[in-house]
Structure 1
Amino acid sequence: MDHEELLQLSRQLSPADVCAQLLALSVVEYSYTPSSKITLELSDAEGKLTDTGRGMRLTPDKGDALAHAERALTGFYPCIPSNPEFDAILRELAWGERGSPGPSVANFACCSFEFTSMRDGEVWSQSYSYGTPSGPAVTLGLTKMTGTVIDFKTIEPIKHAVVATLVEALRSRIQGLSIVLRSHGRSQ
């Protein structure tokens, strides 16, 4: 899948689909770190997804000038669960038969997307608008925590009932999965 295909796919996403793509990424992380907790807070056209997984490196890979997370957030970067059962559930509920396109599709669909990662004792953040970074990743400080926080804004209101149905389906199909959903200013 090339950049243009990712852009086309992102244009087909509803705000609830954006939430589904992002939740699927946190579920992939849960497949590797089952102690990970997921929280999704929604208002009309804004959301905040937090997980306590491993976090993503915002520094470049060795020999690369582009930050690891920026590469994942701006290109095709499939996120594969640790087992085929999770993959089948996520294909059915969020991704479709094509499978994981990675985080860039949701990023391209959002007018505002701030990705914060806690990993290796550091907190890093980078902001985007429709998949374009507003600048390089910046360090925000030190931490003993791990995980990611994604603050995002969609151009239309998020249908909270659709997202709640997905959250319930994920919880019922994946044993031990903890997703807390908080809705403010409920959009139907």
Structure 2
Amino acid sequence: MDHKELLQLSRQLSPADVCAQLLALCVVEYSYTPNLSIALELNDAEGKLTDTGRGMRLTPDKGDTLAHAERALTGFYPCLPSSLAFDAILRELVWGEHGSLGPSVANFACRSLKFTSMRDGEVWSQSYSYGAPSGPAVMIGSTGKTGTVIDFKTTAPINHAVVTTLVEALRSRVQGLSIVLRSHGRSQ
């Protein structure tokens, strides 16, 4: 799948679909690190998704020039869960038959997306607009924590009722999954 196809798919996503795609990434991370916590804050046309997973490298892999996270956020990069059971749930509730396309589909649909990762004692961040990086990833500090924070702005108000229904379905289908959902502005 190329850049043009990802852009075309992203244009078909509603703002609630963008939230669903990003939330699915946290559920994939949960499948590998089941002790993580997930929080989702929604306003009218923006959200903030936080998890305490492993974090993602915002520096290039050895021998590469593109950061691992940037590759995932700008190209076809399926994020596969640890088991077929998780995959089946996410296909049913979020991805559909095609399965995971990765975080780039949601990134391309967002007016802006800021990806912050805490890993290996460092905090790195990179910002995007409709899938295009606004500059390279920058280290913004140090930490003893791990995880990711995704701040995103959609092109229209997010239907909070649709996202709430998805969160409830994920909680009931994925044993032990905890998602804290805070809604402000209650778009319907």
In the superposition, the TM-score normalised over structure 2's length comes to 0.99
The aligned residue for residue 128 of structure 2 is 128
Q: Kindly tell me the number of residue pairs found equivalent between the two proteins.
A: 188
1:19 alignment partner in structure 2: 19
- Cα-Cα RMSD: 0.4
Superposition pairs of residues 22-171 of structure 1, within 5 angstroms = 22-171=22-171
Aligned to 1:7: 7
Equivalent AA in structure 2 for residue 83 of structure 1: S
Counterpart Cα distance in 1 of 2:4 and 2:88: 26
Rounded Cα–Cα distance in structure 2 between residues aligned with 1:36 and 1:166: 19
* CA drift at 1:51: 0.3
What is the deviation of 1:2?
1.6
| CA distance in 2 between partners of 1:13 and 1:108 (Å) | 10
Q: Runs (4+) of structure 1 moved beyond 4 Å?
A: none
> Identity over the aligned pairs, expressed in percent?
85
Per-residue deviation, residues 74-121 of structure 1 (Å, max 9, x unmatched):
000000000000000000100011000000000000001000000011
Aligned residue number for residue 177 of structure 2: 177
CA distance in 1, matches of 2:175, 2:67: 34
Stretches of structure 1 lacking an aligned partner (at least 5 in a row) = none
| Counterparts of 2:92 and 2:57, CA distance in 1 | 29
Tell me by how many angstroms 1:3 deviates.
1.3
Whichever residue aligns with residue 29 of structure 2, its letter is E
- 1:109 aligned partner, one-letter code: A
Q: CA deviation at 1:5?
A: 1.2
Q: What is the identity, as a one-letter code, of the residue corresponding to 1:137?
A: A
| Matched residue type, 2:122 | E
Q: Deviations over 1:6-39 (max 9, x none)?
A: 1111000000000000000000000000001100
